[in-house]
Structure formats: structure tokens, C-alpha cells
Chains A and B, each alone.
Chain A
Amino acid sequence: MTKIITDVVCPFCGTLCDDLEVAVSDDGEEILEVYNACAIGATKFLHSQAKDRITRPRMKQEDGSWKEVTYDDAVDYTANLLVDAKKPLMYGWSSTSCPAQGVGSEIGEEVCACMDNTATVCHGSTLIAVQDVGVPSATLGEIANRADRVVFWGGCNPAHAHPRHMSRYSIFPRGFFTGKGSKSRKMIVVDPRKTDTAKMADVHLQLEQGRDYELLSAIRVAIRGEELPDFVAGIPKEEIYETAETLKSGRFTVIFFGMGVTHSLGKNHNIDIAIMVTRDLNDYTKAAIVAMRGGHYNVTGSGQVWGGWQFGFPFCLDLTRGFARYNPGDSSSNDLLVRDEVDAVFVLGSDPPGAHFPVRSVKKIAQLPSVCIDPHITPPTSAVSKMHVPVAFVGVEVGGCAYRMDNVPIETRKVVEPPEGMLTDEEFLQKVLDRVRELKGGQHNHDRVSHQKWFCLRLFRGGLTETKWMSLSKTARSSMQAMSQSRPSLMPLA
């Protein structure tokens, strides 16, 4: 006999499909089959069942071999590593639950870490664009029920990357106002490659690689009915006018975009203008734009936990001064690593060497004291780390909140028990936090405050050092002071 567990949430990508059914053995110990999931999602569930899974933390020996240690040793090693470091980097956070991210934030604050999530090599430029121009958006259900013009722009290839996106949300569903499913929608794909998604499209604009900004700009021009040159980004102007007309004439237009615009030439400016196209379209019809986020299912959640309620910034957090600073390019993990600015690395819920970091950064990780907290069997990060701590799979062996690409929070479900004695990442982090506090002995806050007073003085002077400050002209100094005073601040209440 098998038991079927319904309404299971898939902890693979940011699509967070929540209609999976999982067959487990009668004793609830083993996953036998996964229904409704795409190939990637099903594999994640089945991967957790591997017989050769590592179930205890292990420490790398000098000869490169691994030695099994207890969780207590791992907690102690991790806490000491973070406390001893002057500027530790705590990276990842995207494949774990929000409560774990919350505990991680507290650790980062205690040890004055630099904290970063996978957005830094993914949709970080989207976050910056949103800070520049905002984002008119909608939930995926709103799109399923209303959208009749669907654009997949720039390296966004749901057929492979978010396999159930089109069937659940964007192209095929028969929504309330879109009763004919895909027949009630016009699908436009803008991609230099002839992807499998592009093959399905009504219109495929095969633009020259790296020319997204030009084409988006041309669409804005065409929406306004102004003159265009004969070709923009390799697309004839007639096609651009036609596309603009298609977008304008819809009842509800949605633009999805992916990594092809976020990390090609122009980066956040590409998103800026894509958002502005959406904004312009709202003067004619209804339009929304959604980032195809979440190669890690909860990268959106870590942006919400930090970027919103804990610190106010979604990624590239620098807590080293005792309060939160945010300066992508300076406080982003790759920049910190290649500039040799960090002296310890902590990775959780991501796999920088396996997936996204350039080898220059990976080499630095290998040279530093480092810990990798990851449920997978042998994640490439463990190969360059000194300590590997296996934890339970969130969404398979423990529940926890995750945020979908449209920021909708969904509680993932526990399907089977983790291997005996294995900690969840939240439990492990809580132990680390307690140990860090023990090691710090409470003397830390005082240092932070005096440090901050010093820094406030510098802020007041535009962040300049004493020598630099004195070298400025008197007018420049007074105008900078006036500028900093005119900001609404909490000073009167402080």
C-alpha cells in the first residue's frame, strides 16, 4: 500500500507549483513516485531518497579526505569561523525557507557579516531597476485570468527553465476572462535564439544579441507612433510597429523577462526600459511585467525577508558597521571575493561553484575558511569548503514558507522524514546563533555603537575622511552639509 500526499509544493524553481501529488511508502519513510511535477521537480524529490546521501557533517582533512564530525562540532566550527572573521561573507539563502533566512539574518547581524543571495548573479539587476523606476506587476493568477498578450523577453525560456509556467499561468490556462486558453492569447517571444519557447510563439522577434535596450526603446517609440529607422536590433521597423500595435490592442498585456536582459550588456538599464514600456502601455490598456525569478525556489523570499522587513535592502547587504548598508558593485559577493575583502565564507542554500560564480571567485573561496550547508549529496561547493553540513531538504523533509516569483508566499510541505538525526537548516542556524552569542559574551553591541558614531560623522560629511574633507572648498563643505541635513531623518526623535 502507498499513501498519496496531495497539494505538495515543489521546491525547485520560483514557479512553486503547489498541485503535486507524492506517493510515499506506508511507513511514510520513502518517496515512491511524484505526480504532476516537471522532470526537474520530480528529480529533486527523488534525489532526497538517494542511498548514498551524506547524513552527518564532515570536515576536510589536510590530505583532502573527509572526516565525519558531530553536529555540535559543526556548530562550533561555524560559529567560531564567523566570530573570528573580520568580515565574513554569508552567501546563498535562496534554497531555504524564510524562517531559516530570518535566523540567518540575526547571525549576520551578530557577526557583522556581508550577506548576499543568488540575486547577485541573477535578477539583482532587476531589483536595482525596480528601485529606479518601480514595477507595475500582477500575480500569476491575474495573468491566467486576464492576459491576452503574453511576451517572453530576453533569455526567458520557460519551456526548459520553468517547465510548468506556460501550462499553469501564462499560455494555456483557461482563466475567467480567457476561456479559450492559448487561443485567447497572442504569444510573442523576443530572443536571439530559436528556443523551444520561441517555436511556440505567434511572433518571434529574433533580435541581435545584446540589443534588447535598442529594441525596447524602439517599441516605446512605436507605441507613441513616432518615426523609426528601417532596422532596430536587426528587426525591420514594420515588425516593430506591428508588435507595438499588438501590445496596445490587448486587454491585458504581460511581459515576462529573464536572464538574457538582466546580465547582458546594459543590465539594469534593460529592465528599466522594459518597465517603462509597461508603464507606457498602461496609458492605453492594462499591462504588467513579471521577472521570471527563481532558479532557486525561494530567492524571492530572501529578498523579501532582508529587503523588506529585516534590513530594508534585498541583496548585497553589508552589515560590517553594525547597521545595514547597500551598495551593489561594492558589497556584492563576487566583488568582495575578487578584491580579497572577506576572510571567511559561509554558504547556505546555493551552490556558487556549481552554478553561478566565476572561477576567480571560487578560487578565493577555496583559499578561505569556509563552510557549506547543503542537503545535496556532493554539491560542488563542498569540494572547495572546509566543512560540509548536510541538512534536511526544505519542501521535502521539512516545511517552511517560500515566495513565488510574483511574491506570493506559499507554505511548502513535509512529505517524508529526514534521515535519522539530521537537523533542518533552521535548527542548525539556531544552534549557530546561540553559540555565536555565547562566544561574543554580549560585549559586541557596545563596539558597534561607537563604531557607528564615528561613521555618522563621516556620513554627515558625505562619507569623506578627515583629510579629504578638509581639502574641499568651504562652499563645497557647506553645501554637502546642507544636503545631508535637508534629508528627512529620524534625528528629532532619536
Chain B
Amino acid sequence: MSTAAAPNYELIQQDGLETNLLEVSMGPHHPSTHGVFRMDVKLDGETVVDLRPVFGYLHRNHEKLAENMSYLSSMPFTDRLDYFNSMTNNWAYALAAEKLIEVEVPERAEYLRVIMAELTRLVNHVTLIGFFINDLGALGTPLLYAFREREKILDLFEQASGARMMCNYFRFGGLRNDVPEGWLKRAGEVVDRFPYFLDEYEQLLCENEIILSRTQGVGNLPRELAISAGVTGPMLRASGVAYDLRKVDQYGIYDRFKFRVPYTEGDTGDCYDRFMIRVLEMRESIGILKQALAGISEGEIMGNAPRVFKPKPAESYGRIEGPKGELGFYLIADGTPKPYRYRVRPPSLINLTVLRDMCLGGKIADAVIILGSIDIVLGEVDR
């Protein structure tokens, strides 16, 4: 249980045994913490009694840096927030800035944006599942299977944008360049082949008894807690809330695509739910990708937007459904070429706030899985 009461220590003391709580510092260089993240854990035997997350080791002053450079110049820095999902980070920032300068995005660019964002979702979920199984103790092999598929999509990114991970591809009012000739066909091939990989992966993992016994009923997150903590993305949907910004906001051209939002029935979600939601989401992403690749037409890819601009004093908030949750950029313009205030709403950080509630009362080995199922990237948590 997530909110299990701490064991009664007085009883233990009465047995005549002297027991002490053991304080363990997990991290910051622990491989299961997905980067430089530390958990100060208080243990009673193997049971977690208290947990304090410590982060900030990767703080790079992202927001303050962005306030001292032009709007365009901080675009490459958004790649480095969540370095698995540079395309969606670009999109969220571009949305916020496009609201400031009120520029139209051409249709082809909108289609390419959707294609890139959904490919990014595949990359993120496939990597997460690989690492999640890695945390469970299956060292390496499933992760490499996942990375094999990821590499195909990263090749597509490299052909389109020139870089595998730090794509820096979106621009205010469109995209930096059109995709090279034959790219859409190659993307179609990758998308067509992806379900076979998913079948194989699901067959291997989804009913594996080790995974079932280690993840089911572990790290329960009740719906009320998820909503009140501001948790978003697959984590929220795993707790039984069908909330997806692609349906709610319909930013870009998401209203043109048919897709379903997977969520669990019931009012709590455990690690297995969070794992399965991502597998199901990948299936939906493939559906969106097929529709987008079929519907894309020739045309301009860049709207009539200036490279460097001075927006009128205003504020704007652009948000998208990133693979990890709601990623938002809040900008205040003051009439100069630089933003007066630049704020990121990182899904990783806000989803991480419920870590303590999910870990209390569980075993120390489960804390590792619970952290893995949250899906954090420290580049985004610390900024």
C-alpha cells in the first residue's frame, strides 16, 4: 500500500531487541537513479520508512540563461532539457513563442511536427521500457533490443535534422529545413516494421512472471493523489484519469487524427499499469504516424516569421503532451528581443514529487522500480 503506516517501533523495542533505523544514501552515482539523482532512504530492515529525494546536481541555469539571449538562441538549449525527446521540447517552446508573435504554421510543417513528435514518443517509451526492465535486474539484453529499435528512429532524425539527439529542428513558424528526398518513405518503412518489434517485446515481457510479481501492486498511486500532485502524462493515465493534451488542447493538427487514449480502469495505478500504458501508447502512436504519413502533402515548411524579433509586451504559455507528461513553456515578453521571464514546466520534476508517497512502506528494491516507472530525465528535473 502506498500510504501504509510506518511499522510500530515501540512494539519492536518491547521485544528486548535494540533496533535502529538505517539511513542509506542511494546515489547520486547509483546506476538505477537514471542520472545524478539521490534518494536519502531511511530503512527498517528492508522496508522504506522515509525517503527524501535530493536533486539539483545537473542544474545548468537553463531559465536564467534563456532570459539573457534572443528567443531563437535558446531553442538549442531546449534540446538539452529532456535529451531523449528534443523534438517535443522544441515544439513546446515553439508553440509558446508562436503565440507571442502570432505566426501561421504551414500545413506540411504541421504534419512533419506531428510525425516527429510521435516518433519521439516511440523513442522515449521504447527507451523507458528498456531501462525499466534493466532496473528489474534483466541487465542489458532487453535494453539492447529496445536500443536497436530506437537507433532506427534516431537515424531518421539524423537524416532530417543533422543530429541524432540534439535535433534543434523546430523553428518559430515551421521547421528549419524540409526533410530530404525519400525520407517519408523510409519513415514509413520504420513505422511499418515497428509493430513486429512490439509484438516480440510484448510476448517476451508483458506476461513474464518475474515482471508480474515484481511490478503488480508495487508503487500504488491513487487517483486523488495523482490529480492533486499535478502528475501528468502516462503516469496520470495509469492512475485512471483519461487526460491527454492531444485530445484536450488539440494543438497543432491533432484534431485530424483518430487515436485512442489508453488509461486504466480503477482508481489506483501500480508499476505494471504504468509500464503497460506506455506499451499501448506506442501502438496508438504508430496509428497516428500512419495517418500522418498518408496525409502529408507538398508545400512550404516555414511560415513568414522573422529570425530575431521583438514581440509586444505579453505573456504566453505553450504546452504539449510530451512523452513524459505536460511540458509547458511560460514566456513573458517585454518588447525587447529577449524574454523577460522564461519558465519551464517540466513533467519529470512534477511527476517525481509523488515518489515518497509511492515508496513508503515498500521494500528498498521496489524503490528502484518505482523510480524507473516514473520515467525521469535529470536534465529536465534540474534544468
- Do A and B share a complex? no
Which B positions have Cβ atoms within 8 angstroms of A? none
